[in-house]
Amino acid sequence: MSDHRPGPVPRNGRAAGVFSLLLSAAGLMMMWTWTGGTVFAIVAGALAAAVVPLCLGSRHQAAFEVIGGPMDGARLPPDTVGRDTEVLVLPTPDGGGARYAVTGLRSLVYRGQAGTAD
Protein backbone atom coordinates (compact mmCIF):
# COMPACT_ATOMS: atom_id res chain seq x y z
CA MET A 1 0.00 0.00 0.00
CA SER A 2 1.49 3.34 -1.02
CA ASP A 3 1.51 6.43 1.14
CA HIS A 4 0.05 8.83 -1.40
CA ARG A 5 -0.93 12.22 -0.06
CA PRO A 6 -2.42 14.81 -2.37
CA GLY A 7 -0.03 17.60 -3.26
CA PRO A 8 -0.75 21.30 -2.94
CA VAL A 9 -3.50 22.78 -5.08
CA PRO A 10 -1.97 24.65 -8.03
CA ARG A 11 -2.40 28.42 -8.04
CA ASN A 12 -4.60 28.35 -11.13
CA GLY A 13 -6.84 25.69 -9.58
CA ARG A 14 -7.17 27.66 -6.35
CA ALA A 15 -7.88 30.87 -8.25
CA ALA A 16 -10.56 29.13 -10.33
CA GLY A 17 -12.14 27.74 -7.15
CA VAL A 18 -12.18 31.13 -5.42
CA PHE A 19 -13.55 32.80 -8.54
CA SER A 20 -16.37 30.29 -8.93
CA LEU A 21 -17.29 30.44 -5.24
CA LEU A 22 -17.44 34.24 -5.22
CA LEU A 23 -19.34 34.34 -8.52
CA SER A 24 -21.87 31.86 -7.14
CA ALA A 25 -22.20 33.92 -3.96
CA ALA A 26 -22.87 37.06 -6.02
CA GLY A 27 -25.52 35.20 -8.03
CA LEU A 28 -27.19 33.95 -4.87
CA MET A 29 -27.21 37.48 -3.45
CA MET A 30 -28.99 38.64 -6.61
CA MET A 31 -31.53 35.86 -6.15
CA TRP A 32 -32.04 37.03 -2.56
CA THR A 33 -32.58 40.59 -3.81
CA TRP A 34 -35.13 39.48 -6.40
CA THR A 35 -37.04 36.94 -4.31
CA GLY A 36 -36.52 38.03 -0.71
CA GLY A 37 -35.74 34.41 0.24
CA THR A 38 -33.39 34.41 3.21
CA VAL A 39 -32.00 31.00 2.29
CA PHE A 40 -30.19 32.57 -0.69
CA ALA A 41 -28.39 35.03 1.60
CA ILE A 42 -27.41 32.27 4.03
CA VAL A 43 -26.00 30.03 1.30
CA ALA A 44 -24.17 33.00 -0.25
CA GLY A 45 -22.57 33.74 3.13
CA ALA A 46 -21.50 30.11 3.48
CA LEU A 47 -19.90 30.18 0.02
CA ALA A 48 -18.08 33.41 0.82
CA ALA A 49 -16.87 31.90 4.11
CA ALA A 50 -15.55 28.87 2.20
CA VAL A 51 -13.14 31.19 0.37
CA VAL A 52 -11.28 32.06 3.59
CA PRO A 53 -9.64 28.62 4.12
CA LEU A 54 -8.66 28.50 0.45
CA CYS A 55 -6.84 31.80 0.78
CA LEU A 56 -5.29 31.19 4.21
CA GLY A 57 -4.16 27.68 3.45
CA SER A 58 -1.90 28.76 0.61
CA ARG A 59 0.92 30.24 2.69
CA HIS A 60 3.25 27.26 2.44
CA GLN A 61 2.37 25.86 -0.97
CA ALA A 62 4.50 27.91 -3.34
CA ALA A 63 8.25 28.45 -3.45
CA PHE A 64 9.78 30.93 -1.03
CA GLU A 65 11.78 33.82 -2.49
CA VAL A 66 14.90 34.95 -0.64
CA ILE A 67 15.12 38.75 -0.33
CA GLY A 68 18.45 40.35 0.56
CA GLY A 69 21.64 38.95 1.97
CA PRO A 70 24.06 36.55 0.34
CA MET A 71 21.31 34.41 -1.24
CA ASP A 72 19.24 37.27 -2.71
CA GLY A 73 16.87 36.12 -5.45
CA ALA A 74 17.08 32.40 -4.70
CA ARG A 75 13.88 30.33 -4.59
CA LEU A 76 13.47 27.61 -2.00
CA PRO A 77 10.99 24.73 -2.15
CA PRO A 78 8.05 24.96 0.27
CA ASP A 79 9.21 21.98 2.35
CA THR A 80 12.33 23.95 3.37
CA VAL A 81 10.25 26.13 5.71
CA GLY A 82 8.10 24.56 8.44
CA ARG A 83 4.64 25.87 9.32
CA ASP A 84 5.77 27.30 12.67
CA THR A 85 9.13 28.64 11.47
CA GLU A 86 9.64 32.33 12.15
CA VAL A 87 13.40 32.62 11.58
CA LEU A 88 15.35 30.32 9.27
CA VAL A 89 19.16 30.03 9.20
CA LEU A 90 20.47 29.14 5.74
CA PRO A 91 24.06 28.08 5.05
CA THR A 92 26.00 30.60 2.97
CA PRO A 93 28.65 29.83 0.31
CA ASP A 94 31.44 31.07 2.64
CA GLY A 95 30.58 28.39 5.22
CA GLY A 96 28.70 30.67 7.61
CA GLY A 97 24.99 31.16 8.01
CA ALA A 98 22.46 33.88 7.30
CA ARG A 99 19.26 34.51 9.26
CA TYR A 100 16.04 35.06 7.30
CA ALA A 101 12.63 35.98 8.71
CA VAL A 102 9.67 34.14 7.20
CA THR A 103 6.95 36.54 6.06
CA GLY A 104 3.34 35.81 5.14
CA LEU A 105 4.07 36.65 1.52
CA ARG A 106 6.14 33.51 0.81
CA SER A 107 9.32 35.52 1.26
CA LEU A 108 12.40 35.09 3.38
CA VAL A 109 13.74 38.53 4.39
CA TYR A 110 17.41 38.88 5.35
CA ARG A 111 17.98 39.68 9.05
CA GLY A 112 21.77 39.39 9.34
CA GLN A 113 24.49 36.81 9.73
CA ALA A 114 23.83 33.91 12.08
CA GLY A 115 25.33 34.50 15.51
CA THR A 116 25.50 38.31 15.23
CA ALA A 117 23.41 40.77 17.21
CA ASP A 118 21.56 42.84 14.58
What one-character-per-residue DSSP string does 76-97 give? Answer: E-GGGS-TT-SEEEEE-TTS-E
Cα separation, 112 vs 118, whole angstroms: 6
- Does the pTM of the predicted model rise above 0.85? no
Per-residue pLDDT tens for 104-115? 777 888 888 886
Confidence of residue 34 (pLDDT cuts 50, 70, 90): very high
Question: What mean pLDDT, rounded, does the chain reach?
Answer: 80
Give the pLDDT confidence score for residue 9 in this predicted structure.
53
Summarize the confidence of residues 48-56 as an average pLDDT. Answer: 83
Q: Let me know: does 103 contact 97? Beta carbons within 8 Å.
A: no
* Residue 90 confidence (pLDDT): 85
- Answer yes or no: is pLDDT of 17 > 60: yes
pLDDT at 44 over 50: yes
pLDDT at 22 over 70: yes
